[in-house]
A and B are shown apart, each in its own frame.
Chain A
Amino acid sequence: MAIETVTMPQLGESVTEGTIGQWLKQVGDAVEKYESLLEVMTDKVNAEVPSPVSGTVHKILVEPGTTVPIGTPICEIAVEGAELEAPAAVPPEAPGASATQEPPSSAAAPQGMAEGRGRYSPAVRRLAQEHGIDPAQIAGTGAGGRVTRKDIEAAIHGKAQEAPTTVAPAAPSGAGPVGAAPATAIAAVPSAPAVIEDGDTVEPLTPVRKVIAERMVRSKATVPHAWIMIEVDVSGLVALRDQIKDEFKAREGVSLTYLPFMMRAVVEALRAVPQMNAQWNGDSVVMKKRINLGMAAATDRGLVVPVIKDADQKNIVGLAKATQDLVQRARTGRLTMDDLSGGTFTVDNTGAVGTILTYPVINAPEVGIVTMESVVKRPVVVDNMIAVRSMVNVCLSFDHRVVDGADAGKFLQVIKKQLESIGPHTSIY
């Protein structure tokens, strides 16, 4: 009998464990390849996991609500055509079959397993730091795949043996190849401790908060941020939007905001300055082929940055629908890991919170992040006359290792030109 074991998938590079949300298929249910099998919750997203094969659910090994490390067997599927034992006795189409199925086995997922990967003992952390080893790269032999002190000692031993054949390590301050080194460099600088006084309350970090904190520290500590701003006259854009927004809403079903126009302009700017659509890679720069725009979205749980894939292939309507969809799913916690990965550049609609000037933090390894501030009416000089115009500031943080000020300025100039070329009669299709 051919039984395929389904394991907890890795839902993102920094994700080490997942919690079973619910089983969408029960024991005895037929399932098609790629059909959703279960929901998995991680500290970042809730995702539906597709079945890797077609067959019948033979055994569910992990109950909903249980957290297991990636790679842990969670379910068994009898592949089609194979003979089945007990569960097959119940015909899949029998009325009420799913209600009478035996409950998922509770024997699976021993308690300690949930803690296996991603948690390191003090000894492991110390040795990893002393020897510049990333423990996440080591196969753990402890309970639940935990990396033990012996594992890391073996890795150090292995490293020492191969050392003579490799190039001497780069100077600590030099731009060495990226790997474990930057991470350990960050860890080496402890944060200033908080002062806790009577009446203060201490709120533990949520998983999302932890991820945000780690990424922000990493970005600010490893990326040399430079910052510039430009002001853009969007009176034409404001007039256009005022004119068509009701009709647009009626026809397309989503509201028309300034953000899709900004994204169009950013796409053009990225085409004009391709170094901005790139990633820093230690001793090289990766020029990204696709243009995938991340858009910062505030949610109850914290900041998330879903990504509009191939934004350069979408028009204003497509971008409006895509942003609306991502924002809604972000707020309801329904983003998939795919929604959150693959970004090549980030747009932050800071104007939504009313600011007129922002110094955004780059979403490393991307090279830049641009903001669209509040559109405000201001007196400005036009043709030697003072006029009231709708103005917006566009702020750009960029990685000065990859891009210099001249190109960054060109990038903003393209955005400005694009936005200012929009008038009340510009077609959005």
Chain B
Amino acid sequence: MPGFLDDLLSNPALTTALWPALVETLLMVGIAGVATVVIGLPLGVVLFVTQPGGMAANRAVSVVLSGIIVNITRSVPYAILMVSLMPFTRFIVGTSIGPLAASVSLTIACVPFFARLVESGLRDVQPGKVDAAHAMGSTRAQTVWKVMLPEAMPSLVASVTTTLVTLIGYSAMAGLIGGGGLGRLAYNYGYQRFQPEVMLVVLVILVLFVQVVQLVGEAVVRRVDHR
């Protein structure tokens, strides 16, 4: 057993390749996570307010955003989306490989997912609170910004957590197709070089990563939840 452990600890896959791979994964998840929230939050709000019967009901916007863009993007499997986005990625970041390039497709895959979670979070705000906000003379923007988003905060934080966990999963997949990171490490060493122990280590790291994200997310929810 000590022999196995020595082998493992002296394996260059772990001594030299693991750290950069971990950084790449963190980079991908970090960039895509921030971009997803920045784009997905307003998109979720727009989906909510433009739906039929919504605060700013707009059939055309609702059909295009919700019915076409979000639903279609969500029905394309990530691996396929990633490959098909390569020309677009090259146009945006100049290359189609590496963590930065992977962040583009990760963001595009996760924005509709997160936007839907935001939309349903807003839908769960009691209509009475929205009535109260209007009756006191709030504009629609004030109602969304000062009432609905704060009231939906626990659910929004939970949605960010869920989205990050999804992103971690996708990022490993992105590694296979040039994204780099832990996914590529596991594939190159664990699969192609028949080193299942490397695969196992990557697996453990990913599990720990998800656990940490989930725990932190739940702690923040408890902090912001006054219900």
Query: Do they bind each other?
Result: no
Taking Cβ atoms with an 8 Å cutoff, the residues of B that contact A are none
Taking Cβ atoms with an 8 Å cutoff, the residues of A that contact B are none
